[in-house]
Amino acid sequence: MNPLNSINMQAMEHAIKLSSLDGLRGYSQDHYGTVKQYQSTEYISKKSARGYQVLREPAWNKGTSFNPDERISKNLTGLIPHTLESLETQCARAMAVINSRTTDIDKYLYLSSLKASNIDLFYRVLIDNVAQLMPLVYTPTIGDVCLQYSTLYTRPEALYISIKQRKSMATILRNWPYPDPSICVVTDGSRILGLGDLGVNGVGISIGKLALYTGAAGIHPEKTLPIVLDCGTANETNLADPFYLGLRSKRVSPTVQQEFMDEFMAAVEEVYPNMLVQFEDFETEKAFKYLERYRKRKCFNDDIQGTGAVVLAGYISAVNLSSVPIEEQRLVFMGAGSAGVGVAKQLMEYYTRRGLSEREAKDKFYLVDTKGLVTFDRGDKLAEHKKIFARSDNNGHQFKTLEEVIEYVKPTALVGLTATFGVFTESAVRALKVSVDAGGLGRRPILFPLSNPLTKAECTFEQAITWTEGTAIFASGSPFSPFTTKTRDQLTTYYPNQGNNVYIFPGLGLGAILANASRITDAMVYTSAHALSQCLSPDEIRQGLIYPRIERVRDASVVVAREVMKSARREGVSLLSEETWVEWEEWGDVALTAWIKGQVYDPK
């Protein structure tokens, strides 16, 4: 008998492989050196750049659009084809390439290479084809990109700040090649979309989000800064991946992560004191904690505040379409994480601004997590953020399933932020319709399955329309196609709404930057939502839409930015001169809107 037969050789080989990948094993993990750079980087100016210095800088390269004088003055003769093309022709070529690619990842990679070679062309293509390309640049494609980021990696596109170099963060920030960025998106990769802890691979979120700040609101691309903070990862797949680009170690403790974050915020204040910091995809507890801890700084959290605001904007319009009076509205939230609680808090403010007390407004919300209805007496230790909406009026009864909660609450709205596909079952959605119908004729249920990407959506648009017999007021986090049904000989087409944060965060960020706001107040966030709800055109209202068509996102962002600026002024956080505001206050929205449009990036 072979004694080796009882040994799991596959497991042993796997352990040996992991051990060989762990380059930090045996070293002290709590001592940090300081990076000493002996020379500063000297960048050539755009004015003095010639030849390949121009062509290899994406912010300067115009490709075949350089005119004859530029080709001579910049020594480009012979370095590019001897043809003069318009930007429109270049865009048509780019779209032809995109449409020839068979997978979304391939299309993303082409767009990424385009951005790395010709920024103006990339953004012109994105702006002119936003409905087709936004799902490629951000959700849902960006989720797949993040999962494969280390494998797909070809060039740096961000600042990668390892906790191993925590004492050198100011140096790292100064290494960014574009001076004085106006906004950064920072993540630690601990909760990417509904995909969990992706570690440094989560940097794709920061990159994609900032592309939308530019594409949807016109913040200049040279004024944007994507950042990932690498604190390790709990993702075993990443740790075993030989191509993984992050620290091959478990995440440090919450205490050390907090220290790291404090040091990062201090470094930002030292190096880029005027930069707006947007937190993105931190795990729930940290997301709430950091937002509260740095509330007086120039920062906001899009997962909490942006998601809340865009859902609020849609909800304002949905309530008007539902024919259910405000006093009879009751909302069930499936999902009680950072996004769920953030959305609920924003919607609660909608009611307090309409005369309800905080207690009365809070009583309209019922949050459900994996253990059922969130109550104070269900026997588990509630996270702090869940206590805000935990129920105490359940008389000792516990409701463990969504269907049980719907039967108990009789809601008028069902909101999903669970990142669990199909959790809105047919029985749950039909029960929602029954509870709404019981209130009277002509009433419509509000159904918002908001999780990203599509593979995490709580239900599909087709299911929502079918199960509610076409009455649902629907908004999702990811894009769905219109759905056509046939009743007898009549075709009816229903149009979905996408409650995409891109309707809020670009305009909110632009408004805060242009107002030179010292911080982002709750009133500014609420104002962004209310402004968006006022952006619908008559045609969009007739089609039953609750958000503007995505093709008009830049128009909406200008309106959101304008109203956010005015809110910053009212809140006393705008640092613009008094003389500037006096002039706008004399001439009103027309003057301020024209000024905003004059500030935004719009490649021609």
pLDDT tens, residue by residue, 438-493: 999 999 999 999 997 788 899 999 999 999 999 999 999 888 999 999 877 889 99
What pLDDT, on the 0 to 100 scale, is given for residue 375? 96
Burial of 75 (0-12, 13-18, 19+ CB in 10 A): middle
What is the homologous superfamily of the domain 502-599 according to CATH?
Answer: Malic enzyme, N-terminal domain (3.40.50.10380)
Q: Please indicate whether residue 254 or residue 19 has the higher confidence score (pLDDT).
A: 254
**Residue 163, amino acid:** I
Class for domain 305-499, per CATH?
Answer: alpha beta
pLDDT category of residue 16 using cuts at 50, 70 and 90: low
Counting every residue written for the chain, the total comes to: 604
What pLDDT, on the 0 to 100 scale, is given for residue 23? 65
* Range 433-452 burial, b when 16+ CB lie within 10 A, else e: bebbbeeeeebbbbbbbbbb
- The first and second tokens of residue 116, run together, are 């790395």
Domain 138-282 identical in fold to domain 305-499: yes
Residue 367 phi, psi dihedral angles, 5° rounding? -100, 135
* Range 413-432 burial, b when 16+ CB lie within 10 A, else e: bbbbbbbbbebbbeebbbbb
Statement: residue 4 has pLDDT above 60: no
Statement: residue 9 has pLDDT above 70: no
- The first and second tokens of residue 561, run together, are 């930015």
Q: For residues 474 and 165, is the Cβ–Cβ distance under 8 A?
A: no
pLDDT category of residue 544 using cuts at 50, 70 and 90: confident
209 in catalytic set: yes
Bridge partners of 161, per DSSP, are 229
pLDDT category of residue 17 using cuts at 50, 70 and 90: low
Q: For residues 474 and 447, is the Cβ–Cβ distance under 8 A?
A: yes
Can you tell me whether residue 392 is helix, strand or coil?
coil
Statement: residue 402 has pLDDT above 60: yes
pLDDT category of residue 15 using cuts at 50, 70 and 90: low
Residue 186 phi, psi dihedral angles, 5° rounding? -120, 135
What pLDDT, on the 0 to 100 scale, is given for residue 454? 82
Q: List the Cα angle 64/66/67 in 5-degree steps.
A: 120
What pLDDT, on the 0 to 100 scale, is given for residue 284? 87
138 in catalytic set: yes
CATH number of the domain located at residue range(s) 138-282 in this protein: 3.40.50.10380
- The first and second tokens of residue 19, run together, are 């051990």
Class for domain 53-128, per CATH?
Answer: mainly alpha
What pLDDT, on the 0 to 100 scale, is given for residue 13? 65
Comparing 14-23, 176-185, 291-300, 420-429, which segment has the lowest mean pLDDT?
14-23
Out of 74, 164, 209, 456, pick the active-site residue: 209
For 165-203, the pLDDT digits (tens) are: 999 999 999 999 999 999 999 999 999 987 899 999 999
Can you tell me whether residue 539 is helix, strand or coil?
helix
What pLDDT, on the 0 to 100 scale, is given for residue 22? 65
Out of 62, 74, 107, 138, pick the active-site residue: 138
Residue carrying the six token digits 């062309």: 121
Burial of 132 (0-12, 13-18, 19+ CB in 10 A): middle
Q: In this prediction, what percent of the chain has a pLDDT beyond 90?
A: 86
Q: For residues 447 and 432, is the Cβ–Cβ distance under 8 A?
A: yes
**Mean pLDDT, range 558-578, rounded to an integer:** 97
* CA-CA-CA-CA dihedral for 145, 179, 263, 515, to nearest 10: -90
Q: Domain spans of the chain?
A: 53-128, 138-282, 305-499, 502-599
Q: For residues 269 and 304, is the Cβ–Cβ distance under 8 A?
A: no
Average per-residue pLDDT for the chain:
93
What pLDDT, on the 0 to 100 scale, is given for residue 18? 60
Q: For residues 252 and 286, is the Cβ–Cβ distance under 8 A?
A: no
Residue carrying the six token digits 């492989």: 17
Q: For residues 190 and 483, is the Cβ–Cβ distance under 8 A?
A: no
For 73-86, the pLDDT digits (tens) are: 999 999 999 999 99
Statement: residue 12 has pLDDT above 70: no
CA distance 511 to 508: 5
What pLDDT, on the 0 to 100 scale, is given for residue 201? 98
Comparing 109-118, 311-320, 476-485, 552-561, which segment has the lowest mean pLDDT?
476-485
180 sits in the region (left: phi over 0; alpha: psi -120 to 50; else beta) called left
